[in-house]
Structure 1
């Protein structure tokens, strides 16, 4: 049987907000809220993973997509370079 969660979503959001807005370590914030530090860390990680930050940090999926796009751009640039060289070769040869 699943265990019921004693923390409601509003409490979780407020705890994450407190943890992120203060300069205190997460463990100290958790002690003040009388919750387990690892529980608060998990909530903060989940929040950071699911919420893009206003400073422009990328999520894991966005970073993976960007890396794939960079790889594809390099590949296409090599193809274009090869085609330019091939076109120049055939223009020189009068056959």
Structure 2
């Protein structure tokens, strides 16, 4: 069975309802057909980082974006080093 995906706005709205105290986790979960732990997890994520909560598929939080850029730069530099090593070996062989 495939789990249903909810968008960030929906998750924020449900988490805010729970955090405000206007609804309990179990009552929200029963109404939406979710497990109460899902409501608690959404509320925790919203409390931890309200701006970057629920980034969505393919959208990384700022730390993730920085890490991805750093890894890409490392790959580029490793390629450059490999090319320079080949060039150095070629010129060393041809200078003799």
The TM-score normalised by the length of structure 1 is: 0.44
Identify which of structures 1 and 2 has the higher relative contact order when contacts are C-alpha pairs closer than 8 Å and 6+ apart: 2
Structure 1 or 2, whichever has the larger Rg, is 1
